Amino acid sequence: MDYQTLTIRRDGNVEHVTLNRPEVRNAFNPRLIAELEDWARGVRVGRDVRVAVLAGAGPVFSAGADLAWMAETAAYTHERNLDDATRMAGMFEALDTLPVPLVGRVHGAALGGGSGLVAVCDIVVADEQTIFGFTEVKLGILPAVISPYVLAKIGRSAARELFLTGARFPATRAREIGLVHAVTSADQLQPTVAAYVRELCTAGPEAVRAAKQTIREVSSRLGHEPVTALTAEAIAARRVSAEGQEGIRAFLEKRNPKWVE
């Protein structure tokens, strides 16, 4: 696949994948979703990668789902809408189950699905200025597709607060709730990511893969079921709802949605 929305850089056994739609703050549209899933599946089928690093080009890591695309979904049939949401769920699942460690290098903002991308990273280093948030309800939609991955990281209590308010929160809070592992100054971001990568590369490559797999398998026995059908259905319904479309349009038209006094 010829990537238009990602840049890939190889440094020995380390692959750096960078979201590259800075003009819309690395919001993900169907093209970026397809490319990220394709990249993740490529790692799975045997490129000789030991560690992958996920970052965003431009001023922020990722502003989540592309709201111009979300606005368009109102014109879709339910079947197409669901299929489209299922593809987004497939991208998150492919990243979450990446066989090698995925290190997130996060700066600027990680909002909505951008915080979802943070949740599917194994190790996350964030610039101290980064703003996080599960802002979907502010737009009249909801954090459905990302919810299994975020819940696995931050637990129900933090999710109840942060999913329901949609409030933005700082990197220090992201670390407290387990979404982020290290918070650094801007100039220490890259060296800290590099230190994690070096640490990972001192471990046995097969052992690291097996450890990641074990975490996944043990967790699934603790009662988690595959929920992508449920989550895709939930967002597919919500984003075409009157309220969802009003919230999305309000963002694109740079005004408050009508439920904001």
In the complex, the smallest distance separating the C-beta of residue 23 from ligand COA, rounded to whole angstroms, is: 6
Nearest distance from C-beta of residue 55 to ligand COA, angstroms: 15
Q: Which residues sit at the interface with ligand COA, rule CB under 6 A? A: 24-25, 27, 59-60, 63-68, 109, 111-113, 135-136
Spatial separation of the C-alpha atoms in residues 116 and 162, rounded to whole Å: 13
User: According to DSSP H, which parts of the chain are helical?
Assistant: 30-44, 67-72, 78-96, 113-119, 147-165, 171-176, 186-201, 205-221, 228-239, 242-252
Complex with ligand COA: residue 50 or 87, whichever CB lies closer? 87
Q: Which is nearer to ligand COA, 43 or 111 (CB)?
A: 111
Burial 118-137 (b: 16+ CB within 10 A, else e): bbbbbbbbbbeebbbbbbbb
Query: Is residue 206 among the annotated active site residues?
Result: no
Dihedral angle of Cα 165, 172, 252, 32, to the nearest 10 degrees: -110
Q: Closer to ligand COA at the Cβ: 68 or 215?
A: 68
Minimum gap (Å) between residue 254 Cβ and ligand COA: 7
The nearest distance, CB 41 to ligand COA, in angstroms, is: 24
Distance between CA 252 and CA 250 in Å, rounded? 6
Closest CA to 122 of 39, 57, 216: 216
How long is the chain? 261
The active-site residue out of 72, 136, 206, 261 is 136
Q: Of 64 and 101, which has the nearer Cβ to ligand COA?
A: 64
How far is residue 10's CA from residue 146's CA, in Å, rounded to a whole number? 28
Catalytic residue numbers? 136
